[in-house]
Amino acid sequence: MIWCILIVGILLPQSLAHPGFFTSIGQMTDLIHTEKDLVTSLKDYIKAEEDKLEQIKKWAEKLDRLTSTATKDPEGFVGHPVNAFKLMKRLNTEWSELENLVLKDMSDGFISNLTIQRQYFPNDEDQVGAAKALLRLQDTYNLDTDTISKGNLPGVKHKSFLTAEDCFELGKVAYTEADYYHTELWMEQALRQLDEGEVSTIDKVSVLDYLSYAVYQQGDLDKALLLTKKLLELDPEHQRANGNLKYFEYIMAKEKDVNKSASDDQSDQKTTPKKKGTAVDYLPERQKYEMLCRGEGIKMTPRRQKKLFCRYHDGNRNPKFILAPAKQEDEWDKPRIIRFHDIISDAEIEIVKDLAKPRLSRATVHDPETGKLTTAQYRVSKSAWLSGYENPVVSRINMRIQDLTGLDVSTAEELQVANYGVGGQYEPHFDFARKDEPDAFKELGTGNRIATWLFYMSDVSAGGATVFPEVGASVWPKKGTAVFWYNLFASGEGDYSTRHAACPVLVGNKWVSNKWLHERGQEFRRPCTLSELE
């Protein structure tokens, strides 16, 4: 049942507020195995019930034959002493046994297993978080509701469809966020699927209830009135719709009176519906960011492209790389972004992931006001931190970064491992602290983040690029590679062109690990220059 409340003269469906929550791919795969275990347990329960019913059925068939014979000549039947004895025995003993069999609860094993597994189930926050991820992907990759509903996404291996009820739930999640733009899109999709004859547990009245209000909130009064009338055709007694109809007609009549006394230009302005609202999490640079995520708007000119090269890099004659130099590729010129190919092996990746998985928790960011780590809505992933002393592989990876960059890793932060599931992202941000954030890394005592090293530890089926909106650059994940860039100029000033983002994963999942290197210890490895921007 949808209760109603009155706001500015119009009745609207009540919403329930749930904060968003992200679940990583690792946790999702665990849930798949949990569900498989529950299905096995459910099938065992069904088999037990079937065996029980089979026993009852055989007993009923036997007694049906016996009573059919006995009722033809009751006196003659019980006149036989054996029949008389067996009748007493059946009614006194066997029917009690049958009663116990009928009352026997075969579900104990299944219910017990379900109770144990329920502690690992997602909650309302997880469901809302998954819905928000779909809406985020819809915006970022310019996907229409029909494409998503039919599962026509690039790189998918297991196609899946959304039911009208699923679309309705997505619309409700948008509604709770006062995101009426997406509410309209998904309620219309649910309505289309119902109009096409899809059998569903939801009805058109419920869909039209949300849809008409979402349209009204976006300023399209004519459409809101039309949808409300359509709702009342299906349910003439709908209290909220009748109230809304009167309110809409009152507003339209009032606007009509105003238009009569206004000029033609003013009249046109009054009757033009408002422009559809933007996403509730809109950012000024979102358009550039989302275009780059789609592979559009990249600003590399052919002339600049010619100056980008591939080379073998020996880490300035480092003995470890003289005979087997690293493969290096220029991804971008300003800021200079370098990709190292085949720089981490599959075996090393699996060890790092295995070490990180038990510790994965909601990723955090530095709060510029407190200097402490905190969660943020613009970073949606799970992360863990690994120290070099924990495992020789982590120590070896740290030294590899030092050998190839020439920077001291002893003052760097621990290796951070992050997992971005479907919809996982990190919106545009700086890795370094700006001048208005003097205490960002005060607790570390190692200065600002001079450079970033980022390992790609998985391929991504679709989405998941690292983009730099300020310069129009996109770097795509490739397993076994790493990218490196300086966040600060040699002068110590921040390079604002390094503002970057992790695009949402559209299909698949993304594993990365990164090392943030700090200023302390680099005084002679990367000497300061006289110019601020060098």
Report the 10 Å Cβ neighbour count for 431: 20
Strand ranges (DSSP E) for 310-376?
310-313, 326-332, 337-341, 361-362, 365-366, 373-374
State yes or no: pLDDT of 8 exceeds 70: no
CA-based nearest residue to 478, from 385, 299, 301, 349? 349
Q: Which residue has the higher pLDDT, 344 or 277?
A: 344
Distance CA 25, CA 417 (A): 13
Distance CA 231, CA 208 (A): 6
Mean pLDDT (the chain, rounded): 87
- Phi, psi at 213, each rounded to 5°: -70, -40
Lowest mean pLDDT among 358-372, 385-399, 445-459: 358-372
Structure tokens belonging to residue 165: 């009820």
Q: In the chain, pLDDT over 70 holds for what percent of residues?
A: 87
The side-by-side arrangement of strands in the sheet containing 466-468 is 379-380, 425-429, 500-502, 466-468, 473-475
* CA of residue 382 relative to chain centroid, distance: 12
pLDDT at 531: 76
CA-based nearest residue to 134, from 165, 162, 176, 164? 162
Cβ atoms of 218 and 199 within 8 Å: the answer is no
Give the total residue count for the chain: 534
Element (H, E) at 5: strand 4-7
**DSSP assignment, residue 487?**
S
Tokens 């970073």 belong to which residue? 379
pLDDT at 448: 95
**DSSP assignment, residue 226?**
H
pLDDT at 361: 82
pLDDT at 364: 55
Mean pLDDT of 145-150: 95
State yes or no: pLDDT of 438 exceeds 90: no
* CA of residue 25 relative to chain centroid, distance: 10
Q: How confident is the model at residue 284 (pLDDT cuts 50, 70, 90)?
A: low
User: Which neighbouring-strand residues pair with 366?
Assistant: 373
- Phi, psi at 429, each rounded to 5°: -160, 165
Distance CA 506, CA 352 (A): 24
Distance CA 204, CA 227 (A): 11
Cβ atoms of 198 and 163 within 8 Å: the answer is yes
> Per residue in 461-509, pLDDT tens?
999 999 999 999 999 999 999 999 999 999 999 999 999 999 999 988 8
